[in-house]
Structure 1
Amino acid sequence: MFPFSISYSVQLTRNITLDEYESVLKYVKEFIEKKTADDIIIWENGLEFKSRLLKWRSRNNIMSAIDKGEFYILSKEGKTFISYKIYMYFLLLSALVFAGLVEALTKNIALSVFVIIFMGGLNWLIAVIRHRYMLNDLKKRIDLLIPSGIYPFYANKK
Structure 2
Amino acid sequence: MKVFIKIFTVFLLMGCLFACEQGDVKVSLERDGNLYEVTDLVSFYYPKDFQLDANHENQKDVRFIKDDASYIYATIIDDTDNVLEELPQLYEGQLEEDGAIDIYFQRETIPSGISCYEFTGTYQATGMKFVQMVYFTEDASYVYSYQAPEKVYEDQIDIVKQYLESLTVHH
TM range (shorter): 0.3 to 0.5
Name the structure where strand makes up a greater proportion of residues.
2
Give the TM-score, by structure 1 length: 0.37
Highest Rg: 1 or 2?
2
Which structure shows the bigger proportion of residues in helix conformation? 1
TM-score (norm 2): 0.35
